[in-house]
Amino acid sequence: MKSEGRVKDFVSEVYRHRTREVIWITENAWYVRDGDGNPIFIEGTIQDATDRITNLAFVERQANLDTLTGVASRFRFLRCLEEETLPGKTGCTLYSIDFDRFKEVNDLLGHATGDLVLKLLAKRLQSIVNEPSILARLGGDEFAILQPSLNSQSSIEAMAKKIIASLREPLRISGHDLTLGASVGISMFPSQATGAEDLLGNADFALFQAKAAGRNGFRIFDLELRSDIQHRKELEQDLRDAITGEQLELYYQPIVEGGTGVVQGYEALMRWNHPKRGFLPPSQFIPVAEDAGLMTDLGNWAIKRACQQAAILPPHIMIAVNVSPSQFRSASILVKLRRVLEETRLDPKRLILEITETAILTDEALAEKLLREIQALGVGIALDDFGTGFSSLSYLQRFPFNKVKIDRSFVAGIVDQPANLAVIRAVLGIGRDLGIKVVAEGVETKMQVDALLQEGCKLMQGYYYGKPKPYVEIVGDQSVAELSTLIPKAPDTKIRLVR
Ligand code: C2E
Ligand code: CA
Ligand code: CA
């Protein structure tokens, strides 16, 4: 006799004979044959599989639900999303939701409170989501709502507003009134996405846009915006090659004595000669560099190049270089400065770094220390764009600036806006009292020059006196005789005078 060939191997639901309670069994059976191979009977086993099966159901439920909040899990959500974006489906709308200040709550009040906040907010969201739409927690404080229907713009907007309003109501938790708020990004299938992954990506992209625009807002995905970001990504990639590829260049704008027009120095302004896109002004690449963490490299390059080029200009010519907040905060700036001054042999007194108030805002004590250390090298510091941010006159008293540059928005209004004139007058007054030089930026007309002179402003910069221009042109403005006497003093400075 031999046994072979499975007949059955399955799970079924039966009743336990005595108690009538439902249990699960697995049956496993096979033929038992005689010596000629003819089946004579069936032999098998029956096993109680109740534990295994209920565990499986439990696991399945666990996989479908988010354990903390009880809403759908990421796993279930992705499955639904796949289903709703199959070919032939009518369409769906996806809302990607992110709490605006959740990280702060977690950091300040601890994870237990963070969890409680998530639970309460999930409950609020659940109350505005009706079947067959599903609400899911995708992770952290990221939630999503999937509506398996195509909706009008107005109903989508109404839903987004409802989501935001529900999350904006304050929460009272352990004696704290917390108001979090949320941002929402929305994308639709099939009009804006080719499949599940694309739809998720686009909703997230819209969410990113909503967050960038401020809190408690929503954005519906926009294809044009997406290409904007791609453009930015490409620029970021190219920017990495720009420094090494010698694609960057400094232009120089004169800073003059108002009235006489005598050049006191130049401000170095960066330009990018992009191999495909042509000449780009800083507004088109500095924000990209900041986001990509490349600003320090770019800024350090500018300091070095400006010092090299300034070293062979006449010794009375000052050179101003812009330093971004991130570059200023990095501890290496002092080391870099020392090295560059040594290498180029530029008299530190001819160099002035321009910083904006943002550079000093995050850590004022540290900023003050750094300012003093830079000044100890002999290098000057100017407060740039004065008046555009929070800058108050008290900054000028508190921090050791050598110069302050009044933003061009004030200069533009000097003739006909009394409030602008008042600010300029105040800055000039403080400058006189504290021995801080004042430069008026963006001077474009003779009327502005006259008004500034009348207020006692001595230094000016702007298109009226000259636009930023390439180094070779400012070299041309200086006397050749002076240059030739200076060049031997900087033997290791490699400068090409002709482009
Ligand atoms: P900024 O430091 O305030 O530089 C002055 C800007 O105003 C320059 O723009 C200049 O071309 C422009 N400008 C000068 N005079 C006039 C005028 O009369 N009218 C008008 N409408 N504009 C005038 P640019 O070169 O496009 O630079 C923009 C900004 O980019 C600079 O503003 C500075 O914040 C930043 N930047 C430029 N080069 C560097 C750099 O090497 N490092 C860093 N960190 N930032 C830089
Ligand atoms: Ca500047
Ligand atoms: Ca400025």
CB atoms within 10 A of CB 126: 18
Q: Which ligand is nearest to the CA of 323?
A: 1
User: According to the model, what pLDDT value does residue 5 have?
Assistant: 47
Measured in whole angstroms, the distance separating CA 431 from the mean position of its chain's CA atoms is 36
pLDDT average, residue stretch 395-406? 93
Strands 380-386 and 403-406: parallel
Higher pLDDT, 24 or 353: 353
Nearest-5° Cα angle at 182, 161 to 167: 70
Structure-token pair, residue 471 = 């180094």
| Mean pLDDT value across the chain | 87
Residue of minimum CA distance from atom 28 in ligand 1: 282
pLDDT band for position 391 (cuts 50, 70, 90): low
C-alpha separations of 436 from 256, 337, 349, 459 in Å:
16, 23, 15, 12
Distance between Cα 301 and ligand 3 center (Å): 20
- Secondary structure element (H or E) that encloses residue 252, with its range: strand 248-257
Residue nearest to atom 20 of ligand 1 (CA): 442
The greatest distance separating any two alpha carbons of the chain, rounded to the nearest whole angstrom, comes to 123
Q: Which residue out of 249, 269, 296, 333 has the highest number of ligand 1 atoms within 8 Å of its CB and is therefore the one to mutate?
A: 269
Of 206-220, 373-387, 429-443, the one with minimum mean pLDDT is 206-220
Task: Write down the residue that tokens 């560059």 correspond to.
Answer: 340
Alpha helices in 135-188 (DSSP H): 153-168
Question: 50-59, 205-214, 296-305, 457-466 — which is least confidently predicted?
Answer: 50-59
| Of residues 398, 403, 397, 352, the one with CA closest to residue 377 | 352
pLDDT confidence of residue 498: 35
Write the pLDDT tens digit of every residue in 306-345.
999 999 999 999 999 999 988 998 778 999 999 999 999 9
Residue 202 CB–ligand 1 contact under 6 Å: no
CB of 279 closer than 6 angstroms to any ligand 1 atom = no
Ligand 1 centre to CA of 303 (Å) is 15
- State the closest ligand 1 atom to the C-alpha of 461, by its place in the atom list counted from 1: 15
Q: Is the CB of 468 under 6 A from ligand 1?
A: yes
pLDDT in tens, 128-147: 999 999 999 999 999 999 99
State the average pLDDT over residues 109-120: 90
In the structure, ligand 2 is a single-atom ion and the residues with CB under 5 Å from it are 322, 354, 384
Residue 49 vs residue 238, higher pLDDT: 238
- 318 phi and psi angles, rounded to 5 deg: -85, 155
Report pLDDT digits (tens) over 221-251: 988 877 777 888 889 999 999 988 899 999 9
Give the Å distance between the CA of 251 and the centre of ligand 3.
Answer: 15
Task: For residue 250, give the ligand 1 atom closest to its CA.
Answer: 41
pLDDT digits (tens, 9 = 90+) for 61-97: 667 899 999 999 999 999 999 999 998 888 999 999 9
CA–centroid distance, 196 to ligand 3, in Å, is 47
pLDDT at 19: 67
The 3-state DSSP composition of the chain as helix, strand, coil percent (nearest 5) reads 45, 25, 30
Between CA 349 and CA 381 the distance in angstroms is: 11
Give 13's pLDDT tier (boundaries 50, 70, 90).
low
Nearest to 126 by CA among 113, 143, 112, 138: 143
Q: Are 137 and 74 in contact (CB under 8 A)?
A: yes
Residues 466 and 255 sit within 8 Å (Cβ to Cβ): no
Q: List, for residues 151-177, the tens digit of each pLDDT value.
A: 899 999 999 999 999 998 888 887 777
pLDDT score for 390: 65
pLDDT band for 446, please (50, 70, 90 cuts). Answer: very high
pLDDT digits (tens, 9 = 90+) for 293-312: 899 999 999 999 999 999 99
User: Confidence class of residue 479 from pLDDT cuts 50, 70 and 90?
Assistant: low
Is the pTM above the cut of 0.75?
Answer: no
Lowest mean pLDDT segment, chosen from 31-40, 112-121, 489-498: 489-498
Q: What is the pLDDT of residue 89?
A: 87
